[in-house]
């Protein structure tokens, strides 16, 4: 029977087989035919502690029988309150910067970024109404970035074939060159010049750009970019949807630079990857600019499932895991074992440009067929699937972003498959 399901980022015209997953546990996906896949990308970067974590699953089940859904416009519930307190407690802090103090809920990374953009524009709009500032509406973005698939999130991401159909809907932005090695000063100079023109905000993925190609830059550059924005009064917006929840080695990537963003978007691992939830954190000045007796100045954004109690209960359990277990210790150990194997892989002439940020590693397969729309990526995906792995290369870039429960034996299987892929698809083969 032909399925009526339309899958995301999947070209149905290629007639590829679609595995049917019936159960998951830890780093393993169990298929209907009895085989298994090692989930080497955390099912699109969301699963942190492992699939079907008992503490999170139990919290979901308990909450589902108590309070399943509640309108959040003027009502509240304890799971949402507890998550908000927990997020603020974990958020990056610095003595010389305003702390993140308010939490606005949504239900995906794209909408968390969309909310961040609306907060930034609303902030400047309301200040202008008070005569406290000139209107600002321009947004700065970093080259090669990806921030989601809603209209605003696409507007601040890299333009290409993946959003060409919707170009008429996208708003204009100013793009800052990526601080590649040897190009850091060009990035700083461009940002300084752009900030002098008084934009509303600068939105970035801290330390590593995800879907744009897994490009890594230093904490020093991140710190300098934040300082430039601060000098010019430009809102610094950190998209920690992918980089958060330990992926780069700290709970949030901004911690490594001692940076507290004015606005920070989080999602994916907020529930351990069990159920959709997102949040946008803001400093007090952002919140206060919207707080008024004038109803016209309220923050006009919501969804029906904002702060869904079941999702929040999962997040409460996830926060407890972070507080009570040595998650960062597991991350450190996993990152080191990944680094050791990546160093060996990088010795192969089939690969180039190895890079790592915490438990995220990436390497480029040396091949003439390297574009985003090349045949290489789907060929590699099937190659890995046949070897019991869930991997999803970006063109010729193969990356790993596994759950933190991945063991050494599973990691060896993954890197053995990478070596085999180099032999089969690399230029030297």
Q: Are strands 139-142 and 201-204 parallel, antiparallel or unpaired?
A: parallel
| SS3 state of residue 176 | strand
| SS3 state of residue 341 | helix
**Cα-atom radius of gyration of the chain, to the nearest Å?**
22
Does the reported pTM lie above 0.95? yes
The dihedrals phi and psi of 107, each to the nearest 5 degrees, come to: -130, 10
Q: 230-283, pLDDT tens digit by residue?
A: 999 999 999 999 999 999 999 999 999 999 999 999 999 999 999 999 999 999
The per-residue pLDDT for 1 is 53
The per-residue pLDDT for 411 is 98
Residue 242 C-alpha from the chain's centroid:
2
| SS3 state of residue 364 | strand
Burial of 142-173, coded b for 16+ CB within 10 Å and e otherwise, reads bbbbbbbbeebbbbbbbeeebbeeeeeebeeb
The per-residue pLDDT for 408 is 96
The per-residue pLDDT for 428 is 65
The per-residue pLDDT for 371 is 74
* Kind and range of the H or E run holding 141: strand 139-142
In the numeric block, the tokens 């305003």 are attached to 98
Residues of the chain with pLDDT under 50: 429
The per-residue pLDDT for 372 is 74
The per-residue pLDDT for 2 is 85
- What own/partner pairs with CB < 8 Å and gap ≥ 24 does 330-339 have? 330/404, 330/405, 331/246, 331/249, 331/358, 331/359, 331/404, 332/249, 334/359, 334/402, 334/404, 334/406, 335/249, 335/359, 337/408, 337/411, 338/400, 338/411
User: What fold is seen in the domain 61-324?
Assistant: 3.40.640
Euclidean distance between CA atoms 235 and 261, whole angstroms = 8
């Amino acid at each position: 029977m032909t399925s009526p399901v339309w899958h995301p980022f999947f070209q149905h015209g290629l007639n590829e087989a679609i595995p049917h997953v019936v159960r998951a546990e830890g780093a393993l996906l169990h298929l209907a035919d009895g085989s298994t896949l090692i989930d080497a990308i955390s099912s699109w970067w969301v699963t942190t502690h492992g699939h079907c974590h008992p503490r999170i699953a139990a919290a979901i089940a308990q909450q589902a029988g108590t309070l399943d859904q509640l309108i959040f416009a003027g009502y509240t519930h304890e799971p949402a309150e507890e998550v908000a307190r927990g997020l603020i407690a974990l958020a990056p802090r610095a003595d010389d910067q305003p702390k993140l103090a308010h939490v606005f809920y949504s239900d995906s990374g794209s909408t968390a970024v969309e909310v961040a953009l609306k907060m930034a524009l609303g902030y400047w709009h309301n200040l202008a109404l008070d005569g406290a500032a000139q209107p600002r509406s321009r947004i700065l973005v970093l080259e090669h970035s990806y921030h989601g698939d809603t209209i605003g999130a696409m507007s601040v991401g890299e333009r290409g074939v993946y959003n060409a159909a919707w170009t008429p809907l996208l708003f204009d932005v100013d793009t800052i060159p990526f601080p590649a090695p040897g190009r850091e000063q060009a990035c700083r100079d461009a940002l300084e010049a752009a900030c002098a023109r008084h934009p509303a905000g600068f939105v970035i993925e801290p330390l590593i750009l995800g879907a744009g190609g897994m490009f890594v830059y230093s904490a020093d550059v991140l710190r300098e970019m934040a300082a430039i924005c601060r000098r010019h009064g430009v809102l610094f917006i950190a998209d920690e949807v992918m980089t958060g929840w330990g992926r780069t080695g700290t709970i949030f990537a901004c911690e490594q630079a001692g940076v507290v963003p004015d606005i920070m978007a989080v999602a994916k691992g907020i529930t351990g990857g069990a159920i959709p939830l997102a949040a946008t954190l803001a400093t007090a000045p952002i919140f206060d600019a919207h707080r008024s007796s004038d109803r016209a100045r309220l923050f006009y954004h919501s969804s029906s499932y904002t702060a869904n109690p079941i999702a929040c209960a999962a997040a409460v359990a996830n926060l407890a895991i972070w507080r009570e277990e040595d998650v960062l210790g597991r991350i450190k150990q996993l990152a080191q074992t990944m680094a050791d194997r990546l160093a060996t892989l990088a010795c192969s002439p089939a690969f180039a440009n190895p890079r790592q940020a915490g438990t995220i590693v990436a390497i480029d397969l040396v091949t003439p067929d390297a574009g985003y729309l090349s045949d290489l990526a789907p060929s590699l995906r099937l190659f890995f699937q046949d070897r019991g792995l869930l991997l999803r290369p970006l063109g010729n870039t193969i990356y790993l972003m596994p759950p933190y429960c991945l063991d050494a034996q599973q990691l060896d299987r993954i890197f053995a498959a990478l070596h085999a892929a180099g032999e089969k698809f690399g230029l030297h083969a």
